[in-house]
Amino acid sequence: MEARIVPLLCSILLLFMLLLFLWAKFGQLFITRRPPTPEEINLQDSRLRALFLKIEGLLLMLYEISYGKDIKTFLWTILYVTILDIIGSYISFLTILYISLVCSMTTPVLYLNFQGAIDSFIGKVSEEKNKILGVVKSKVVSKIPRAVKVE
């Protein structure tokens, strides 16, 4: 059985994000010390700053997400990492790297060559989306009773 690095890294990332989220939200019940806030880590004299020297931007972003201030972003990140974990369990890391490289090199060239067709297609898709959203709003959303604001 071949070991895959992408699922391993994704699983470790998911585990750390979940543990930090639980520690930040429910840690004061069981642990007396709260985790440092993202603002405390960003201080110049922080000991953790030396640890994050080269990959500081990515780690701080993931730390802020898993700290749980914005639950929607946290859930989207968990979803994306889980999808990457599932894809990584079927495809090797080198294949993912190769596909990413090919896409990043061919997409701009294809867009420059077919810019008019792509822009018109996206415009048509956007118009169709707006029509469908208008129908949904008029037939579904307008039927939902709304609470009356009490002043």
Q: pLDDT per residue over 72-96, tens digit each? A: 888 888 888 888 888 888 887 788 8
Helix (H, G, I), strand (E, B) or coil at 127: helix
Hey, where are the domains in the chain? 5-91
Residue whose C-alpha is closest to residue 106's, from 117, 95, 114, 94: 114
Name, in order, each residue with C-beta under 8 angstroms of 87's C-beta and a sequence gap of 6 or more.
Answer: 6, 96
Write a three-state SS string for 38-101: HHHHCCCCCHHHHHCCCCHHHHHHHHHHHCCCCHHHHHHHHHHHHHHHHHHHHCCHHHHHHHHH
Residue 1: predicted pLDDT: 46
Task: Provide the percentage of residues in the chain whose pLDDT is more than 70.
Answer: 80
Q: What is the pLDDT of residues 25-39, one digit of tens each?
A: 777 677 667 777 766
Classify residue 88 as exposed, middle or buried by CB count within 10 Å of its CB (0-12, 13-18, 19+): buried
Give the distance, in angstroms, between the CA of residue 88 and the centroid of all CA atoms in the same chain: 17
